[in-house]
Every structure is written in structure tokens, then in C-alpha cells.
Amino acid sequence: MTISGNANHQPSAEVLARAAKVQLMIFDVDGVLTDGSLYFDADGEQVKRFNVLDGLGIKLLQKMGIATAIITARSSPIVRRRAEDLGITHVFQGALEKHLALAELLAQLNLSEDACGYIGDDVIDLPILTRAGFAVSVPNGHPEATSRVHYVTHALGGNGAVREVCDLVLRAQNKYEAAIASYLNNSVGL
């Protein structure tokens, strides 16, 4: 089902139409907001690496009125902390049945599946990827995921893929220039 676009990685008309409808963008964590590696410190505590470009992309979505959320199968205080840093208030951790978290979130926000975008990278994400109005995966995702989405990013998970999607959504909704203008006018407000 992948309908990314052409060889220059210009999004197809269908991808842009789907991205234009996004009112809620949902992110998986491992393999999407991170590179998918699990790091442990000397005390055995888990450490995750996040990309600042991705973080600013999420903040730009929020600034332009698009809700954001995290749905992840793992539970980690690091994810809670990152979500707090980014102002993401809808966080579902330990969500082994991700479609149930999606249903709860959509009910809370009174949104339809067509109004949500989701970026995931593995088979555990399929229940949302097959429901979301705008389904996205990363090129280093599992083939079962990448073959069932509307768009596959150029950037790898944990290395700018989320920012690529955030920019795409903002451009599809004609909000990108306004988001960037706040920086040009020195009125950041993030």
C-alpha cells in the first residue's frame, strides 16, 4: 500500500491530501523517536537518545494547532520526561494493544481515525497503521510496516524522520510558512 511519491521523494497527491486532514499526530517511540537501540548505563538503567530536530517539529505541530500523542508498547520514565519536555500530554505507555489506546485517545479528543496520523516501525504498530488516516513508517522499519503505510520517510527513525513528517503535515496544511515566520520575526513562543 505504500504510496510515498516519486524518486525525488516528493509526496504524492494522495499523501498530501491525507496529511492535510491530520488533526492529531501520534508517535511510537523506539525506532521512531529513537533509533531503536536500547542503551543501558553502568547501573543497568535504560538510556534513550532523542533527536532535537524531531522535538522542534513536534513543537511546531502543537504551535499550529495540531494535537500530539505518544503510544508505545514499552514503559519508561525517560519517555515520560521527554513527553513533558515537548508538551505532549497524551502519553500511553505499556500499550501492548495499541489499537485500544488509539480508541481511547480518539474518544477523548472526539476525533475520527481519518483525522489522525501515526508513525510506527514494526508489526506491533500495524493495528494503528492500518486504521490511521495518514500512516507513516521509517525506512529502517520492518517490511510488514513499511509495506502497509501511505508514506515512508527518507530520514531514519531517531534521525529526523519525525521532523520530516511534521514538516510534511504543516506544508500539506499550508501552515509551514507561518510556523517558520515566528522564528524569522523573533517571536518564537515555543
Residue 184 pLDDT level (bands cut at 50, 70, 90): confident
Is the whole model's pTM more than 0.85, yes or no?
A: yes
Residue 6 pLDDT level (bands cut at 50, 70, 90): very low
Report if residue 5 sits inside a domain. no
* Residue-level pLDDT at 185: 80
* Residue-level pLDDT at 189: 56
Nearest to 151, CA basis, from 164, 160, 85, 92: 164
Check which CATH number belongs to the domain holding 51 and give it: 3.40.50.1000
Domain total for the chain? 1
Q: Three-class SS of residue 128?
A: helix
Residue 30 annotated in ligand binding: yes
Report if residue 136 sits inside a domain. yes
Residue 121 annotated in ligand binding: yes
Q: What are phi and psi of 51, to 5 degrees?
A: -100, 130
Largest CA distance in the chain: 50
* Domain ranges, residue 147: 13-182
Q: If you average pLDDT over residues 47-52, what whole number do you get? A: 92
Q: If you average pLDDT over residues 164-188, what whole number do you get? A: 90
In the chain, alpha helices (H): 13-20, 52-63, 77-86, 98-109, 126-129, 143-146, 161-172, 176-184
Residue 54 annotated in ligand binding: no
Report if residue 160 sits inside a domain. yes
Q: If you average pLDDT over residues 50-71, what whole number do you get? A: 97
Report if residue 3 sits inside a domain. no
Residue 44 pLDDT level (bands cut at 50, 70, 90): confident
